[in-house]
Structure 1
Amino acid sequence: MINIDRFLADEQDPKAVEKVAGKLNDLLTSGEEILYLAVQKKPAVNLLPDCIAISNKRIFYCSPSNLGLTMNFKDISWKNIKEVSFKEGLLGSKFICVPQSGENIVTDFIPKTQVRKLHQAANQQLEEYKEMLRQQKLEENRASASSFNMPAPAATPVIELPIEEAVIIPEIAPVEVSKEDEIEQKLIKLKTLYDKQLITREEYEHKKAAILDSM
C-alpha cells in the first residue's frame, strides 16, 4: 500500500490524496513507486481537484468524474516525454508536460510549492531516463566498433628461397650404376632437399616428374 503521509507535507488535500493513492496502488507495475503527488487548489470551489503523480516510470494524470464517484487515469511514460516545465501565476501555477508528439499537457491551479517539487521530481526522472539511453547508445557503439576493428588472424609466414638456390641439385659423382639406380639416387636426393625445406612442394613435384620421365 502507498503511504499517503509523505504526500501531505505541502498542504495537499488529504481526501484527494487518499482517494487517488488507493487507485494508483492497483496501477503500479513491478518495481514502480510513486515519488511525488500534487493536488490542484482551485481559487473558488475545490471539491473535485485533479491530481498529478510522478513515479519512476511515468506521469499519472488523475481526474475525478461523475461528481467524484469515479476517477479517470491517464499516464505517459518517460520515453514519450520530451520535456517538463512549470509556470507560476497569482492564483497558482501550471505544470506543463511536452510529449514527443501531440499537444502539450497543461494542468493549472497547482500550488507553487507543489509545482516546484513536482517539476523537480519529473525532471530528475526524465534526465535519468535520457542518461540511460545515452549509456545504452555508448555500449552499442563500443560493441559495433569492437566487431568492426577486430584484427584478422595473423597469416603463417611463408619463406621462399631464390629459385636458383632452391632448384639446385648437387651433382652425383659418376659411378658404375644402372639407370634404375641412378634415378633412385636422384629421387632420394630430391626428397632430402624437400624434407629440409630447401625446395618448395611445387618444385619437388616438378623435378620428380622430370626425373621419372627420363626413365
Structure 2
Amino acid sequence: MISIDRFLSDEQDPKAVEKVIGKLNDLLTTSEEILYLAVQKKPAVNLLPDSIAVTNKRIFYCEPGNLGLTMNFKDISLKNIKEVSFKEELFGSKFICVPQTGENIVTEFIPKTQARKLYQAANEQLEEYKETLRQQKLEEDKANAPAQPAPQPFADFGSIEAPAPVAEPEPIQIAEVVEEPEDETTLKLRKLKTLYDKHLITQEEYEAKKGAILDSL
C-alpha cells in the first residue's frame, strides 16, 4: 500500500488523498509511480473535490461520483500530451493539459502552490519522455545509416620519374602594321555615318549629305 504522507506536503485534503491513493494503487502498471498529487479546493463548499495525479507515465484525473461512493478515473499518457500549463486566478489556479489531438483538459480551483508543483512534475516527465524519443531516433538513424567503406592503403608504385622538360615554342614574330592616316573625305563620311547611327540625322539627310561629299571629289 502506498503511504499518503508524502502527498500531504502542500495542504492537500487528507481524506481525498487517502481515497484517491487507495484507488490508484490498483491502476498503476509495472514500474509506474505517483510523483505528485493535487486536490481541488473550491472557494465555497469543498465537498467531493477532484484530484490530479502525475506519474512517470501519465496524468490521472480523479473525479468522485455518486456522492463520493465511487471514483471516476480518466488518464492521458505522456505520448498523447503536447504540453501542460497553469494559470493563477483569484481562487486558486487552472491546470491546463493540451493533448496532441482534441480539446484542452482544464481543472479549476487547484491551490496555487499545488498547481505550480503539479506543472513542474508533469513538465519534467514530458521533457524526459521527449528526450527518450530523441535518443531512440538517433539510435535508429545510426543503425540504418549505410556503412562507411574502409579507407584503402596507398599502393606502392615505386619511384616516379619526373617528366622530361618540354621545349618552349619559338616566339612568333608579328610584323608591325603602320596605318596610313585617313583622308578628309573618309573622315567626313565616317563622321556622317556616326551621326546617322546615333539617330541624330534622318536617313534622307544622311543620303543627301553623303551624296554631296562624294560629288565634291
- TM-score computed with the length of structure 1 as normaliser: 0.69
**1:4 partner letter:** I
Structure label with greater radius of gyration: 2
Aligned residues: 153
Where in structure 2 are there 5+ consecutive unaligned residues? 156-217
1:65 aligns with 2:65: yes
1:46 aligns with 2:46: yes
Shift of 1:149: 3.1
**2:30 partner letter:** S
Q: Which runs of 4+ in 1 moved over 4 A?
A: none
Shift of 1:96: 0.3
Secondary structure (helix, strand or coil) at the match of 1:131 reads helix
1:112 and 1:76 mapped to 2: Cα distance?
23
1:106 aligns with 2:114: no
Which one has a larger percent helix, Structure 1 or Structure 2?
1
**1:144 partner letter:** N
Counterparts in 2 of 1:135-146, with a 5 A limit?
Answer: 135-145=135-145
Shift of 1:127: 0.3
Shift of 1:58: 0.4
Match of 1:151 in 2: 149
**2:76 partner letter:** I
Secondary structure (helix, strand or coil) at the match of 1:98 reads strand
**1:151 partner letter:** P
1:35 aligns with 2:35: yes
Match of 2:3 in 1: 3
Shift of 1:143: 1.1
1:117 and 1:16 mapped to 2: Cα distance?
18
Secondary structure (helix, strand or coil) at the match of 1:11 reads coil
2:59 and 2:80 mapped to 1: Cα distance?
10
Secondary structure (helix, strand or coil) at the match of 1:76 reads strand
1:24-80 CA-to-partner distances (Å, cap 9, x unmatched) read: 000001100000000000001111100000000100000001100000000000000
Match of 2:129 in 1: 129
Shift of 1:151: 2.5
2:147 and 2:19 mapped to 1: Cα distance?
58
